[in-house]
Amino acid sequence: MEKLGFCEKWVSLVLVSISTVSYSILVNGEPRGDIWPSRGIRQGDLLSPYLFLLCSKRLNRMLQQAASDDNLQAVQDILYLYEQASGQKLNQEKTTIFFSKAVNEDTKALISNFLDILEVKEYEKYLGLLAVVGRNRKVSLNYIKERVWSKLQGWKEKLLSQAGREILLKVVVQAIPTFAMSCFKLPVGLCDEIEALIRKFF
């Protein structure tokens, strides 16, 4: 944080908030014991996402510098350093690497084997989202519209009151694109088409 320009007083306040965290658990309705976590502030703390962004920004800068050095070992060393400093560990089983079309197969194999990371294909998904969204974002994310359409087809709108349709749309349908929108900016055209489906059903 000091390298990013934060003053010493602010840094010390953040460190105090991290180092003084403790938990109590309810046993038969009464709080018992003090549990001192070893990994930073409590889950749900409003400060947590900001600290994560600061750490990620620093990690990104370090990785960019290593990429210019064209050194895979430097990347490994940076990830290890980040793990030691943040307490966050890279999950090798969930980590994949994506190559551009310009990379030849021998280089792909060399890098994947050295980092012990599998290559991800464009069509593969992780947590329900495409691992890679290409230039044609609308085509890549069109599955969201298809999911909305399939939900609407399963409901008998004639049997529902207007209030019932409104509740289903707000609770179920509008929640479908929310997760994707936390990672990707949806094209305006796709949003318009989803909105048209919702409007027609309502």
Condensed to tens digits (0 to 9), the pLDDT of residues 28-82 reads 888 877 777 665 556 666 777 777 788 888 888 888 877 776 677 888 888 888 8
Q: Label residue 70 left, alpha or beta by phi (over 0 means left) and psi (-120 to 50 means alpha).
A: left
Average per-residue pLDDT in the chain? 76
Residue 100 predicted with pLDDT over 80: no
- What mean pLDDT do residues 77-96 have? 79
Residue 166 predicted with pLDDT over 70: yes
Residue 1 predicted with pLDDT over 80: no
* CA-to-CA separations, 43 to 28, 49, 50, 129, in angstroms, rounded: 23, 10, 13, 24
Residue 162 predicted with pLDDT over 70: yes
Residue 165 predicted with pLDDT over 80: no
Q: What per-residue confidence (pLDDT) applies to 42?
A: 60
The upper half-sphere exposure of residue 191, i.e. CA atoms within 13 Å in the direction of its Cβ, equals 8
Q: What per-residue confidence (pLDDT) applies to 69?
A: 62
- What mean pLDDT do residues 2-23 have? 79
- What mean pLDDT do residues 104-132 have? 74
User: 177: which residues sit within 8 A by CB, 6+ positions away?
Assistant: 144, 148, 186, 194
Q: Label residue 79 left, alpha or beta by phi (over 0 means left) and psi (-120 to 50 means alpha).
A: alpha
Q: Encoding tokens for residue 182?
A: 């936390």
Range of lowest pLDDT (71-80, 152-161, 189-198): 152-161
- What mean pLDDT do residues 8-18 have? 82
Q: Encoding tokens for residue 71?
A: 């050194």
Q: What is the dihedral of CA 26, 27, 30, 33, to 10 degrees?
A: -70
Give the rounded distance of the alpha carbon of 164 from its chain centre: 33
CA distance 125 to 135: 17
Q: Encoding tokens for residue 122?
A: 């464009």
CA angle, corner 11, sides to 10 and 17, nearest 5?
90
Residue 95 · residue 119 · CB < 8 Å: no
134 pLDDT tier (thresholds 50, 70, 90): low
Residue 191 predicted with pLDDT over 70: yes
